[in-house]
Chain A
Amino acid sequence: MSTLKGRSLISITDYSKDDILKILDMAEEFEKNPRRNILNGYIVASLFFEPSTRTRLSFESAVQYLGGRIVGFATADTSSVKKGESLKDTILTVSNYSDLIVMRNPLDGSARFASEVSPVPIINAGDGANQHPTQCLLDLYSIRKTQGRLENIDIAMVGDLKYGRTVHSLVQALTLFGAKFHFVSPESLKMPSAVKTVIKNAGLEYDQYTELSDVIPFADILYMTRIQGERFPDPLEYEKVKNSYILSNRMLRGSKETMKVLHPLPRVNEITEDVDDNPKAYYFQQARNGVYIRQALIAAILGLK
């Protein structure tokens, strides 16, 4: 296994199966004991060029649980980006003030570029519609924790499978473990062929549905996503499908005992609030797992034990 120390994490495909398992194992240790003073004297830069609740706050709390300090900004409005500074100049400047840079930026590919110019490692906290590898890792952590394994999971992915970056990364990562994929989406938001090719190349199978109720009886994981109205070229088409995939507590009857509902959040209306009290609802714990995963990543990349 190659060392994770000093390596940027830009795309989930940058990590091998062993790298992923190493981070999940480390995260498990941090879950047992999140307050560890190993980051004392270190500074992590948190550069959020666009808004975020969970990712930014969980990174910041990960750093602070470990005794490190944060510099950075939560919106591009308060940085020199507003004066027209290039991404390269911002990264080169901030790398003088920090040991590691966590970055979210609205441009696809911005994180890869940042990692090429930065002398300190970059963790991609979301580059536009492209990648969000730390979300992918916390999803994997949540699956392993709730199912006791990552191998051969029956995972149903529901909603916007065309534009949703989290489902694309999660498919890529799960192909390493031999999952069975069940895709539920309106015709206009089906999984892109490039992602399906990844599944085929891994010798795995997928099937596609338009009815959410079809997959509930056999899914181990029900991975819900938000359908984004702004993606539809035809508003009428959106009106037709926007309420197709609303998961209510009643619909979970007949699902597996061990089944869990995941959602990268924020949700709008795709999971009704009556699901929240069902023990199968796991999305808030899933968000909490993000702290442990980010602690593990920061520790691994900075080479701390």
Chain B
Amino acid sequence: MNSKRTELKVSAIRNGTVIDHIPTESVFQVFKILNLDKTKNQVYFGTNLDSKKYGKKGIIKISDKYFEYEEINKIALAAPKATLIEIKDYDVIRKENVQLPEYVDKIVKCFNPKCVTNNQNVSTSFKVTEDHKGNMKLFCKYCEKTMAKENIEFV
């Protein structure tokens, strides 16, 4: 099955954003992060689609919606290899891989229940780092604990 036909399994949109190459297991996480369950825009999604690059992938298409910087950061945390495609009149006007930011502010909860951010009115702030195996980690500016991807919970 070629990738063109895979794309077409989910309806094309005239205007809006396509988030492609989402790990299949993260599709619902991305959905939740972006509050797509509450949006009034039309949303299409697919999971377990064939992908040349990743074997299986997920895709989300949102009509008439373009994302702000902070929201893009959120996508990168859940789906670091996702591609963000902006569509206008069926044409691709922008296509790029999402980038992990250097810092992640306000959008992720600290996993440490004793962290000041979970006990006082303090916004979270993390530095994005990697361990020696290249796994993404978040380092809390306040409690100085290092959080693995599987512990990430969005505010």
Contact = CB atoms under 8 A, between A and B. Distances in A.
Q: Does B bind A?
A: yes
B116 A113 contact: yes
B39 interface: no
A71 interface: no
B114 A131 contact: no
B115 interface: yes
Residue among A88, A107, A197 with the most chain B CB within 10 A? Answer: A107
Contact of B144 (A106, A107, A130): A130
Interface residues of B, number: 18
Nearest to A117: B122
A109 B144 contact: yes
Interface in A17-33: none
A83 to B, nearest CB: 15
A86 B120 contact: yes
* A interface SS class: mixed
B120 A107 contact: yes
B145 A108 contact: yes
A194 B116 contact: no
Given A108-B112, A197-B131, A200-B132, A128 B120 contact: no
Residue among B112, B115, B120, B144 with the most chain A CB within 10 A? Answer: B144
B100 to A, nearest CB: 19
Interface in B119-146: 119-122, 131-132, 140-146
Interface of A: 11, 86-88, 106-110, 112-113, 127-131, 193-194, 197, 200
Interface of B: 112, 114-117, 119-122, 131-132, 140-146
